[in-house]
A and B are shown apart, each in its own frame.
Chain A
Amino acid sequence: MNPTKSQARRAGLVYLLIAIVGVFGVLYVPSKLIVRGDATATGARIRAAETLFRLGIASELVATLLMIALVLTLHRLFKGINDTQSALMVMLVLVGVPIAFLNALNHVAALILLSGADFLSVFDPRQLDALAYMFLRLHTQGAVVANIFWGLWLFPFGVLVMRSGFIPRILGVLLIINCVGYVADSCVALVLPRFSPLVSRITMVPQFIGEIPMIVWLLIWGAKAKPSAAGPSPG
């Protein structure tokens, strides 16, 4: 029982770290630098705060790398429960990782275009700002595409939680609802963008009640291991 708890604690910590790093890169940095629909203003802000923009890129890469650590820890936590679901969970995350990494290149492309490098002098400054903004938009689309896998992996994860016997089943159900939310969000944004704002408003709810309770539960239940462990703890 104790090794399971220590793995749950580790998974909870990594998951929390992903959430914090992810919020910084996905919400905070864009909110500071992107002026919706205004390529020139956005270009000016990024040029003025290049380090913040680069921190955003780094945070995206770090959060993605931590996903590998998280899914491998969960794979060990759920060992023996269902090999197929466990393998599927790992595969869906592994497929998402290169997509997210290559998507970060769109931000790098924007940086190059805004760098003022000599070889770009054949373009007007307005054109360079517009191209850079195009790559920022493309990055958003890339995140929508990658979210298909950041949603899908929650399905086997939820199934494993439900079958685990040591995690409340309701948390697994919430993860599966969360999976449907992510995937629906991405599919609508890509195929029926007109309905995207409407659907996003609905799918925002499961995104808050799905993964966050899971993180909290892993941390609390995993943390209980030490005080309750009477015998030698492999920690």
Chain B
Amino acid sequence: MDSTRRRARVAGWLYFLMGITAPIGLLYVPGRLIVSGDATATADRIRASEWLFRIGIGSELFHQTLAVFLVLALYRLFREVNETHAKLVVILGALVSVPIVFVSVLSELAALILVSGAGFLSAFEKPQLDALAYLFIRLRGQGINVASIFWGLWLFPLGILIVRSGFIPRFFGVLLFFAGVGYLASAFTTLLVPSYASAVDQVAIILEVGELPIIFWLLIWGARDQKVRT
């Protein structure tokens, strides 16, 4: 049981680190720099705060790299519960989704090149370059949306493992099913009926919050062991 707690603690810390760095690149930086529908204003803001834009890129790459370590930690934690589902967590939770996000980050780097004012771009006028940069920013948003299909899907095997684990209250697993549905609903609404996306997102975000309790449960339950032993 001791090693289970230690594994829970490792997974909890990795999940927690992801949880605090992901919103920087996914929410905060785009919120500060992207002016919806206005390519010129967006490009001006990126030019003025290139460092912030780059921090957003750094945060995305960082938390996605952590995802690789997190799924392995979860695999070790749940391997004995059900090997197949533990493998699904690894595959859906990182192996497939991490490259998608990394490639989406390339769209942001394309936007940075286009707003850089490099000499070779002088064949285009500034509004054209701003528009092209904005196209890549939009493409990046869609890339994240596509990746979030997997951010939803991996929660189902993880939820099943928690429900069956016997050492984590089942309720935390059920919450993950709801969070998974939230991610999937949001992703497919954005793809199929984009006009409803913002309405669905308001509900989806509430469901997605269901991903948070397990992080704290892993940290607290995992840490208790440390205190007893030292």
Closest to B67 in A: A95
* Complex-state Cα separation, A87 to B91, whole angstroms: 12
Whether the pair B113, A191 counts as a contact (CB closer than 8 A) is no
* Complex-state Cα separation, A130 to B25, whole angstroms: 29
Q: A91-B94, A91-B95, A148-B65 are in contact. Are A141 and B123 (CB under 8 A)?
A: no
**Residues of B contacting A187 in the complex (Cβ-Cβ under 8 angstroms):** 58
Q: Which of A37, A38, A134 contacts B113 (CB 8 A)?
A: A134
Whether the pair A95, B98 counts as a contact (CB closer than 8 A) is yes
A66 at the interface (CB under 8 A from B): no
Residue of A37, A88, A124, A137 contacting most chain B CB atoms (<10 Å): A137
Q: Which of B65, B75, B95, B121 contacts A134 (CB 8 A)?
A: B121
One of B31-39, B41-49, B102-110, B214-222 contacting the partner: B102-110
Whether the pair B58, A91 counts as a contact (CB closer than 8 A) is no
* Complex-state Cα separation, A191 to B29, whole angstroms: 14
* Complex-state Cα separation, A38 to B113, whole angstroms: 15
Closest to A39 in B: B120
**Residues of B contacting A96 in the complex (Cβ-Cβ under 8 angstroms):** 99
Interface size range on A against B: 35 or more
B118 at the interface (CB under 8 A from A): yes
Residue of A84, A142, A190 contacting most chain B CB atoms (<10 Å): A190
A60 at the interface (CB under 8 A from B): no
* Complex-state Cα separation, A191 to B75, whole angstroms: 31
Whether the pair B99, A138 counts as a contact (CB closer than 8 A) is no
Shortest Cβ distance from residue A43 to the other chain B in the assembled complex, whole angstroms: 10
Using a Cβ–Cβ cut-off of 8 Å, how many residues does chain B contribute to the interface with A? 33
Main secondary structure of the interface of A (DSSP, over half): helix
**Residues of B contacting A92 in the complex (Cβ-Cβ under 8 angstroms):** 68
**Residues of B contacting A102 in the complex (Cβ-Cβ under 8 angstroms):** 99, 103, 106
B163 at the interface (CB under 8 A from A): no
Whether the pair B58, A95 counts as a contact (CB closer than 8 A) is no
Bitwise, B115-132 to A at CB < 8 A (1) or not (0) is 000111111100000000
Chain B residues within 8 Å of A, Cβ to Cβ: 54-55, 57-58, 61, 65, 68-69, 71-72, 75-76, 90, 94-95, 98-100, 102-103, 105-106, 109-110, 113-114, 118-124
Besides A124-B123, A148-B61, 13 new A-B residue pairs in contact (Cβ under 8 A), listed by A number: A37-B120, A39-B120, A87-B75, A92-B68, A102-B99, A130-B121, A133-B120, A134-B114, A141-B113, A145-B105, A148-B102, A190-B57, A193-B54
